[in-house]
Structure 1
Amino acid sequence: MDLNRQRTQELVNGCMQNNRASQEALYKLFYSDMLRVCHSYLADPALAKEAFNTGFLKVFQSIKNFDIDKGELGGWIRKIMVFSAIDLCRKELRFNNTNTIAADTDDEFIPPRILEKLYFDEILKQIRTLPAAAQMVFNLSVLDDLSHKEIGEQLSISEGTSRWHLAEAKKRLRELLDPGNQQTKERRSNGL
């Protein structure tokens, strides 16, 4: 969502003054995009809505910290939403904090021919079938491009645990998105 500089400043100033019309306009402007961000981290619609509402409360409480010269308003709000979803996920989940070393995996974990067939909603549906911890790490790594160190800091887990969850997520997604490939592997392992 790209607003012009003047409109952004008007919305921010209005929100800083607790102007309800400005707050409502900001909320409506970013509603669908930010709810989608929360849904990408939390499969349960009720939890996603809770993270979204908590995020917007944080937006209104900290709008005075937004600096129009340092970034885009939508990006700033998105970051708050991601952290709200992470915080809620932390409350809901228990991460297994082990230092399991992930096997080296290639970066191309889903063959391009499969990706060409799928739409975002279908991929998101498959991501949501992952265990919650693997889903969270996958989203932070792949969708938000965070390093394992940053993921570990956000989720209070080790870098090794983050790597393991990402490797597991990729492995499961490979199996889910290309079931024929899994059957071929099983046939080979059975000597067929």
Structure 2
Amino acid sequence: MNLFFNQETKLIRGCKANDRHAQEGLYKLYYAEMLRICFRYVKSDVLAYDALSMGFLKVFQNIEMFDPKKGAFGAWIRTVMVRSCIDLGRREARFKEIDSNDNEIDEVFIEPSVLDKLFVEDLLNLVRLLPTATQLVFNLSVVEGYHHKEIGVQLGISESTSRWHLSEAKKQLRLMINTSIIDKPTGHKHKL
């Protein structure tokens, strides 16, 4: 058995027993990974930290519900964090019903030379510039792999509204990439 799994199992047992040291250990173990998820879903660093705190509170309050037979703890905590971000984003977002036609999707071409200059941090910053509702749908669809029906259920919107927001996100991101990254110098650490 690997060391990480043993440590995680011990911390989960301690958290179920309401041991503060185990809670602190679990928090430290998953802090960085969960914060990255929160940064992807919300508009500002302040909201990301709010979502992280809200998520860990839910984790500690509901840790008894985690069942290792149903899946890995990492996947469970990730789901809790994503839902916390969605809850926070739903309060920020203003969804309006939109009837989308898949044939209406506007494709904007991105020059390959532009993509060579694009970095992970750049893309994250551009996604955070999207309107809140559009950002939520983009993350749930592209990053998490949810289908429009599932997104609609989670956000309380129709499938066509979800499709419209995804199309709008892609269109806006392409335009932002084409206009803002063309002359950007290289030098970031995490190139895509």
Same fold (TM over 0.5): yes
Alignment partner of 1:86 is 2:86: yes
Unpaired segments ≥5 residues, structure 1? 181-192
Per-residue CA shift, 1:80-129, capped at 9, x if unaligned?
Answer: 00000101111122211222334454899756554332111111111111
* RMSD between aligned residues: 2.2
- Which residue in the other structure is 1:151 paired with? 151
Paired positions, count? 179
- How far apart, in 2, do the equivalents of 1:140 and 1:80 lie? 14
Alpha carbons of structure 1 residues 72 and 162: separation in structure 2 relative to 1, 3 Å: same
- Which residue in the other structure is 2:183 paired with? none
Alpha carbons of structure 1 residues 108 and 141: separation in structure 2 relative to 1, 3 Å: farther
Higher relative contact order (CA 8 A, sep 6+): 2
- Which residue in the other structure is 1:68 paired with? 68
- Which residue in the other structure is 1:40 paired with? 40
One-letter amino acid matched to 2:85? A
- How far apart, in 1, do the equivalents of 2:25 and 2:108 lie? 41
TM-score when normalising by structure 1: 0.84
Identity of aligned residues (%): 49
TM-score when normalising by structure 2: 0.84
One-letter amino acid matched to 2:138? F
Unpaired segments ≥5 residues, structure 2? 181-192
Q: Please list, as runs of the form range in 1=range in 2, the aligned pairs for 1:43-192 lying within 5 A after superposition.
A: 43-103=43-103, 105=105, 113-179=113-179
- Which residue in the other structure is 1:19 paired with? 19
- How far apart, in 2, do the equivalents of 1:144 and 1:99 lie? 23
